[in-house]
Structure 1
Amino acid sequence: MQTTKQKIGFIGIGVMGKSMVRNLHKKGYTVKIFTRTKEKALDLLEEGIQWSNSVAELTKESDVIITMVGYPSDVEEVYFGSNGIIENAKKGSYLIDMTTSKPQLATDIYQQALEKGLHSLDAPVSGGDIGAQNGTLAIMVGGDKQAFDTVLPIFDVLGSNIILQGPAGAGQHTKLSNQITIASNMVGVCEAIIYAKKAGLNPSLVLDSISTGAAGSFSLSNLAPRMLKEDYAPGFYVKHFIKDMTIALESAQEMGLDTPGLNLSLSLYKELAENGEEDSGTQALIKLFDQ
């Protein structure tokens, strides 16, 4: 199957999904989309991207089906059942779930897909809205190497750091490791900014110094400046970060692993959500500190 001729179906047009679809379309792929709220996709339709009326319709017309939805329950809804992807996909199709979801769910999808003659990959991403726009996402993949190699040209459009981590579920486990890292880092970024302010420093100049040293991170370079501008628009929603951290905590507990940093960050973000910030970007965490 020549990838330039693969017809792609994309389900879920959120903050990141929309940019991912645009990048695929610009590279010449035929892309059809479906999302529960068609109004959110009107700008894409005006750009020449095609609409499907249901998951089943999109699946039947596609060679590669990419999903980027919100929660594990959403993943289950689009993959399973008589109207889902697995029941309606053509034999030999490639299914790529780029949602951050449960590793066991990724394994379940893989097994059911295999029984239907389908190829399944779990391929969650990191890089937020900026990475999605620039096509520089980190893509963490679980599944078979043959499937990975076949769709790698598609991944190359969407990301710049693409690694097959292991069998089904390995991509999700890698993404949870990523989220555990970010969780504690976001607390540190907030504390550093508040410390700089209390010390009478210019926090922007402080960021200029520390972001290129040993403290450097994506959050420090990209989200801390948004904090200083009081720009809380979502590159990644608070509510979705809570979802990811909850899955990570549950997975860690299943392995008997204690994660105090993750526990603290999750409790803080839950407090932030209770304050009405669940639809804000994760950088809104600074609001709990800057009082």
Structure 2
Amino acid sequence: MKKIGFIGTGVMGKSMAMRLMEAGYPLHIFTRTKEKAEELITAGASWHNEITDVAANSDIVITMVGYPSDVEEVYFGESGLLNHINPQTLLIDMTTSSPELAAKIAKEAKSKQADAIDAPVSGGDIGARKGTLSIMAGGEEAAFQEAQPLFNEMGSQTVLQGPAGAGQYTKMCNQIAIASTMIGVTEALVYAEKAGLHPDTVLKSISGGAAGSWSLSNLTPRVIKRDFSPGFFIKHFIKDMKIALDSAEKLDLDLPGLKLAKNMYEQIAEGGENNSGTQALYKYYK
């Protein structure tokens, strides 16, 4: 089986990497803090002190880091992947990042006789654990087909959206839809509580109707239990919304709903909720 490199083992990356190991893939990992990778190391992953060592020992390298600046460093830094990969390596960036950066990585990879695709995901920590992520890919067909067996282990739906960058554009569509949805599901819960209704029974009624959504079914129960632990960090969601708004501006498009959601999330982030899950938008109303 092909040797897999995995860089970034946070809330979602750790579960994604674990699923690949459980499928039998030899795994080589790097993360800034070794302690975050202990569970994977115990399960048999090989941990490396440098990205260069991951590049040298891998046929396919997956990255799942935090911000576009982290992607830049991992790929273009002095010790970055693009300066140390072997020819024919496949690079898969599953970070939510900018479409322009994805295209830049693919172009540089091609100059090194390698391939790169952008493949951001949706489904949160639950989808990462269960292997039910939705994976949105951008890149060449041959590279996509090479990556497909890995995607099948991590996700239940994978679509090649177009050339490099198309995966990131699609992920922005996803985040734009979620941003306004989170306002709606949170206001519905706050309204139900204010009206003296039982949130659990309200959820049972509306989640199966026209108001149903992934956020309503998976995040609202956490809010009812006052569980604001992160399946997806607020700080990363704000990052995504900024990318989407920057991209929309380049497309000469105004998105007032997205602007409102970003402003609301920034307010609770300033109040100390940066590392909470996106369902902590509830606290904006409290």
> Under TM normalisation by the shorter chain, which class is it?
over 0.9
Question: Cα RMSD between the aligned structures?
Answer: 0.6
Stretches of structure 1 lacking an aligned partner (at least 5 in a row): none
- Deviating above 3 A after TM superposition, structure 1's stretches of 4 or more consecutive aligned residues are none
- Aligned residue for 2:9? 13
Q: Percent identity?
A: 58
- Aligned residue for 2:58? 62
Which amino acid in 2 is paired with 1:138? S
Deviation at 1:82, TM superposition (A): 3.2
- What is the count of residue pairs matched by the alignment? 286
Alignment of 1:35-74 (within 5 A): 35-74=31-70
Match among 95, 98, 113 for residue 94 of structure 2: 98
TM-score of the superposed pair, with normalisation by structure 2: 0.99
Confirm or deny that 1:180 pairs with 2:176: yes
Determine the C-alpha separation between the residues in 2 that align with 1:182 and 1:30. 35
1:214 is paired with a residue whose SS is coil
1:161 is paired with a residue whose SS is strand
Stretches of structure 2 lacking an aligned partner (at least 5 in a row): none
Determine the C-alpha separation between the residues in 1 that align with 2:267 and 2:77. 36
- Aligned residue for 2:217? 221
Alignment of 1:158-197 (within 5 A): 158-197=154-193
Moved more, 46-55 or 127-136: 46-55
Deviation at 1:81, TM superposition (A): 3.2
- Aligned residue for 2:271? 275
Determine the C-alpha separation between the residues in 1 that align with 2:189 and 2:250. 35
- Aligned residue for 1:231? 227
- Aligned residue for 1:240? 236
- Aligned residue for 1:286? 282
Match among 190, 194, 200 for residue 198 of structure 1: 194
TM-score of the superposed pair, with normalisation by structure 1: 0.97
Determine the C-alpha separation between the residues in 2 that align with 1:203 and 1:261. 26
- Aligned residue for 2:124? 128
Determine the C-alpha separation between the residues in 2 that align with 1:212 and 1:244. 29
What is the CA deviation profile of residues 147-195 of structure 1, one whole-angstrom value per residue up to 9, with x for unaligned ones? 0011100100000010000000000000000000000000001100011
- Aligned residue for 2:79? 83
Deviation at 1:87, TM superposition (A): 1.3
What is the CA deviation profile of residues 219-269 of structure 1, one whole-angstrom value per residue up to 9, with x for unaligned ones? 000000001100011000000000000000110111111111100000000
